[in-house]
Amino acid sequence: MESKPRQRLSAEARQEQIVQVAVDLAGERGMQGVTTQDMADAMGLTQGAIFRHFPSKDAIWLAAMSWIRERLMGVLGAAAKEASDPLDALERMFHAHVSFIAKHPAIPRMVFSGQMLHDSPKLKALVQEIVSGYEDRLVALLREAREAGLARADLDEQSAAILFIGMIQGLVVQITIFGAKRSLLEEARKVFPVYLAGIKVERT
């Protein structure tokens, strides 16, 4: 029986494949531990084939970060659309973000890879842009909640937005330390009510 020839992918499909492989490898060994040869080996390609689609490894990580932003923002947007009010939107977004990380454990290691961000000003600028955009989205929801009388009148929306993202970072660190001893999703369910109690209006 004749073997079927390998299907040729479009340039766009091959680029996405390279990005996904890079993200998976970064999850296993960190961004600094991944070479373009590692990516090529994982895909059964040559390094030359990788560089036909991306001019440098830095360009691959920039594409990977953009890939993460597009998908995460899509997940958050879909979660918010199902909400009944701004605080419900915040809760749905929180759990959607945590679930996204649970499905893609490589992402925190990429977004918060200090040395890589230090070595690549372009990558650092992109991550700053992603986080700032996320914060702005949260601030808008928190302000809407305050104006609707759902959140405290003295709420500092910017600080509350930073704390929201910080909770997710903290949960990821906890799971990294304790591994299977703690569940990311379960810990998230415990943590968010504490946050919510700190920002919402107390009903008498």
Please check the confidence at residue 159 and state whether its pLDDT lies above 80: yes
Q: What is the DSSP string of the chain?
A: -PPPPPPPPPHHHHHHHHHHHHHHHHHHH-GGG--HHHHHHHHT--HHHHHTT-SSHHHHHHHHHHHHHHHHHHHHHHHHHT-SSHHHHHHHHHHHHHHHHHH-THHHHHHT-HHHHHH-HHHHHHHHHHHHHHHHHHHHHHHHHHHTTSB-TT--HHHHHHHHHHHHHHHHHHHHHHGGGS-HHHHHHHHHHHHHHHHBPPP-
Give 93-138 pLDDT, tens digit per residue: 999 999 999 888 777 767 666 666 677 788 889 888 999 999 999 9
Confidence of residue 181 (pLDDT cuts 50, 70, 90): confident
Give 53-95 pLDDT, tens digit per residue: 999 988 999 999 899 899 999 999 999 999 999 999 999 999 9
Q: Considering the entire predicted model, what is its pTM?
A: 0.85
Give 25-54 pLDDT, tens digit per residue: 887 877 778 899 999 999 999 999 999 999
- Give the C-alpha separation, 190 to 178, whole Å: 16
In Å, what is the CA distance from 13 to each residue of 5, 10, 73, 103?
18, 5, 21, 21
| pLDDT confidence of residue 151 | 97
| pLDDT confidence of residue 1 | 39
Closest CA to 60 of 32, 90, 30, 23: 23
- Give the C-alpha separation, 156 to 130, whole Å: 21
| pLDDT confidence of residue 150 | 97
Amino acid occupying residue 171? L
Give 164-178 pLDDT, tens digit per residue: 999 999 998 888 788
**Biggest CA pair distance of the chain:** 77
Tokens of 131: 């986080």
Please check the confidence at residue 201 and state whether its pLDDT lies above 60: yes
| pLDDT confidence of residue 5 | 43
φ and ψ at residue 151, rounded to 5 degrees:
-115, 160
